[in-house]
Structure formats: structure tokens, C-alpha cells
């Protein structure tokens, strides 16, 4: 019996709370992408919604719960996508949302957080600095601190992707999941291990931000001093112990990829699938590029988790 912080019944119930706009996202085989990668590739597309990432699946649960509890405000630290999603879900339910982000976060993400009506506070330093500041705002104002991956709603929301994959799991062999804090990996992983145990759950993280992957391999929390990757969505340094515990139960592997592979992955997704994606969403393709023998002739699903990218950076990256 699979024991993690997640629960299948709660995840199924979550589907009734999340705005349907974020559910049942496209899942389709993309042979034009699979051909150069030497395997069958299916894309699970999480970007065709108002926040352009999967994160609203979780913030819908958070905001709905806060609203049920009569709470009026919430704060989160965000690399960009969680802030947009919480801004969207919060504004729909009359919640005041404060987002703390690093000044280094992509300008496009910051602009969109503001446009969603959230209060945006910028801090010097990286995502972990933003996390500290958000915690301090929550204490001062007595409001809910929303923490990605730590808060079970964020994992349960992401886990609804797993339900959608499990419906068609008989057709594929492995799923590649971008690994940051671990909400998506533990959520999707839990559902697949419960409903489709034959599917290999492979987490992918950049070499430049390897904390959770190293922790998974050593089976204990390994923090890192810095994070240096273009994949801003997964650039955490302090793995959360409870999330690592779950990840150890549901992931079959965790691999690291080079920045050059992430860029090559973004370029291939544009050229062969017509998709503009943020770097985190290209981690799966990067993993196939770095280890083609592992995936040869298998059917692999990669979750395209976000498309919030600064176009100036993007054009420089994908330029041939």
C-alpha cells in the first residue's frame, strides 16, 4: 500500500473544486517530435489556460479552501508561476493576494502577476530569499502562507494531472516530470504508482539546481548553496523533508540535465511541435536528448508545465 501525504480520494474530489478550464488538458502524440528523439513522445499540455502553467490546479484548491474558511488574504513566494496562479484563483474568490518574488524572476512573469491584481513585492536574492520574506509577511499580517510543494493542496492539484494520464496509461511506458519543489512529481507520481504502477516515473532537474535530485539519490535532504539555471521554475535550494519522503516512494528515477540540453529541448519543441515553452517545460525533452538509448522505441509522456518565458531570452535561446 502506497503511503504518502497524498490520497487518491482527495485528489479525485479536487477535480470538483478546480475550475474545469484547468482540467482535462490536451494529451497527444507528437510524431514530429518523437522522430528526431528516437522514441514515441506524447505531450501533456498545461499551458493553454489563463495562467499558462499547471499551477492553478493547486491554487484553485488553496483559494477555495481559504474562501470556505472565510479568510480574506494569502501570501506566497513564487518563481513566477505560482504567483500568477494564486493571483488568478484568489481574485476569482475575492482574496487579497500578495506575491513575493525575486527581482531576478522573468519580467514577463512579474508583469502578469501584477496584471492579475496581486500585490507584488520584490526581494534581492533568489527564490529562497523570497520564501523567507513571504513567511515573515504571513506572520506579521496573520494571513495564510501558501507554500508550493509543502502545502498539500499544491501537490493534490498537480496530482489531478496524474488522474488524466492514468486514464491512458496503458499506451505509454514512462512519464518525464520537471522536478523543483516536488509538488508535480509527488502528485503525478502518487497517482501513477497507485493506478498505473507499470509506468516509469522519471523526475528531471537541471544540473544547476540539483538539490532535490541529489537528495533523492542519497535518501536524505541535501541543500545547495546556490542555484544557477535558466529553468527558473525549478530553481529551489532547500528540499522539504516531507516532500522528499514522498518522492522516494513514487519516483523511479531522478536525473539531471545540462543547460545546453534544456535549450535544445526548447528549440525542438518549437520546431517540431510549434510550442513556445519556458525552460522548465523542456526538461523532459532534455532528458531524452541526454540518454536516447534509455528511451529508444519506448512511448514517453512529457508534461509541458509552463510557457511563461521572457521572449527576449527565449529568442536568444532558440535562435539557430
Nearest Cα neighbor of 12 from 59, 48, 55, 61 is: 61
Q: Which is nearer to a copy of itself, 28 or 241 (CB)?
A: 28
Nearest-10 Cα torsion for 59, 64, 66, 70? 160
**Nearer Cβ to a copy of itself (31/132):** 31
Residues with Cβ within 8 Å of 132's Cβ and at least 6 positions away in sequence, in order, are none
**Rg from Cα positions in the chain:** 18
DSSP designation for 207:
T
Binding segment toward a copy of itself, per CB under 8 A, in 185-193, 195-203, 258-266, 304-312: 304-312
Judged by CB under 8 A, the chain residues 43 through 82 that form the site for a copy of itself are 43, 45, 47-50, 52
User: Interface with a copy of itself includes 24 (CB under 8 A)?
Assistant: yes
For the CB of residue 83, give the shortest distance to a copy of itself in the complex, in Å: 15
Count of residues that interact with a copy of itself, criterion CB under 8 A: 30
- Closer residue to a copy of itself, CB minimum distance, 108 or 244: 108
- As measured in angstroms, the least distance from the Cβ of 23 to a copy of itself is 10
Q: Compute CA distances 107 → 134, 258, 268, 308, 313, whole Å.
A: 19, 24, 24, 10, 10
CB 177 → a copy of itself: shortest distance, Å?
19
- Which of the stretches 20-28, 134-142, 146-154, 290-298 binds a copy of itself when contact is defined by CB under 8 A? 20-28
Work out how close the CB of 48 gets to a copy of itself at its nearest, in angstroms, rounded to a whole number: 4
What element of type H or E holds 180? none
> Under the criterion CB under 8 A, does residue 160 sit at the interface with a copy of itself?
no
If binding is defined by CB under 8 A, does position 311 make contact with a copy of itself?
yes
Report the greatest alpha carbon distance in the chain: 55
CB of 194 to a copy of itself, least distance (A): 24
Residue of 26, 125, 197, 241 interacting with a copy of itself (CB under 8 A): 26
Q: What are phi and psi of 122, to 5 degrees?
A: -105, 140
Stretch that binds a copy of itself, among 141-149, 229-237, 267-275, 291-299 (CB under 8 A): 267-275
Per CB under 8 A, which of residues 230..259 are in contact with a copy of itself?
none
Residue 298 burial class via C-beta count within 10 angstroms: exposed 0-12, middle 13-18, buried 19 and up? middle
Asked if 116 and 84 touch (Cβ cutoff 8 Å), the reply is: yes
Q: How far is CA 75 from the centre of its chain?
A: 19
When asked if residue 276 is in the footprint of a copy of itself (CB under 8 A), the reply is: yes
What lies within 8 Å, CB to CB, of 69 at 6+ separation is none
Residue 43 vs 77, nearer CB to a copy of itself: 43
User: Using the rule CB under 8 A, which residue among 10, 28, 223, 316 binds a copy of itself?
Assistant: 28
Provide CB contacts within 8 A for 297, sequence distance 6+. Answer: 38, 39, 40
Question: Which residues lie below 8 Å from residue 305, measured CB to CB, with a gap of 6+?
Answer: 46, 47, 53, 54, 178, 184, 233, 280, 281
Question: According to the binding rule CB under 8 A, does residue 115 interact with a copy of itself?
Answer: yes
Beta bridge partners of residue 200, listed in sequence order: 174
Residue 282 makes contact with a copy of itself by CB under 8 A: no
Smallest distance, Å, CB 271 to a copy of itself? 6
Residues that bind a copy of itself (CB under 8 A): 21, 24-32, 35, 43, 45, 47-50, 52, 112, 115-116, 270-271, 274-276, 307-309, 311
Amino acid at each position: 500500500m502506497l503511503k504518502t501525504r497524498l490520497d487518491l480520494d482527495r485528489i479525485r474530489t479536487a477535480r470538483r473544486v478546480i475550475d474545469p478550464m484547468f482540467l482535462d488538458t490536451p494529451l497527444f502524440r507528437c510524431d514530429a517530435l518523437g522522430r528526431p528523439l528516437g522514441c514515441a513522445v506524447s505531450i501533456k499540455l498545461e499551458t493553454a489556460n489563463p495562467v499558462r502553467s499547471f499551477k492553478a490546479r493547486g491554487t484553485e484548491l488553496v483559494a477555495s479552501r481559504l474562501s470556505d474558511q472565510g479568510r480574506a488574504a494569502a501570501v506566497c513566494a513564487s518563481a513566477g508561476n505560482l504567483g500568477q496562479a494564486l493571483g488568478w484563483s484568489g481574485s476569482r474568490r475575492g482574496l487579497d493576494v500578495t506575491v513575493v518574488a525575486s527581482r531576478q524572476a522573468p519580467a514577463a512573469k512579474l508583469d502578469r502577476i501584477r496584471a492579475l491584481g496581486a500585490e507584488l513585492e520584490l526581494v534581492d536574492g533568489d527564490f529562497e530569499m523570497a520564501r523567507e520574506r513571504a513567511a515573515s509577511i504571513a506572520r506579521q499580517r496573520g494571513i495564510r502562507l501558501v507554500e508550493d510543494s509543502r502545502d498539500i493542496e499544491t501537490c493534490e492539484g498537480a496530482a489531478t494531472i496524474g488522474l488524466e494520464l492514468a486514464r491512458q496509461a496503458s499506451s505509454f511506458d514512462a512519464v518525464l516530470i520537471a522536478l523543483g519543489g516536488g509538488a508535480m512529481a509527488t502528485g503525478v507520481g502518487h497517482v501513477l504508482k497507485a493506478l498505473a504502477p507499470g509506468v516509469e516515473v522519471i523526475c528531471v532537474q537541471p544540473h544547476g539546481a540539483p538539490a532535490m535530485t541529489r537528495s533523492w539519490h542519497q535518501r536524505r535532504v541535501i541543500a545547495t548553496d546556490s542555484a544557477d539555471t535558466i529553468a527558473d521554475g525549478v530553481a529551489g535550494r532547500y528540499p522539504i523533508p516531507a516532500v522528499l519522503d514522498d518522492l522516494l516512494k513514487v519516483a523511479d528515477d531522478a536525473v539531471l540535465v545540462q543547460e545546453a540540453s534544456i535549450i535544445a529541448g526548447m528549440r525542438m519543441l518549437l520546431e517540431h511541435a510549434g510550442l513556445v515553452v519556458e525552460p522548465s517545460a523542456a526538461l523532459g525533452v532534455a532528458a531524452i536528448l541526454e540518454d536516447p538509448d534509455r528511451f529508444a522505441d519506448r512511448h514517453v509522456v512529457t508534461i509541458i508545465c509552463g510557457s511563461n518565458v521572457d521572449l527576449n531570452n527565449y529568442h536568444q535561446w532558440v535562435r539557430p
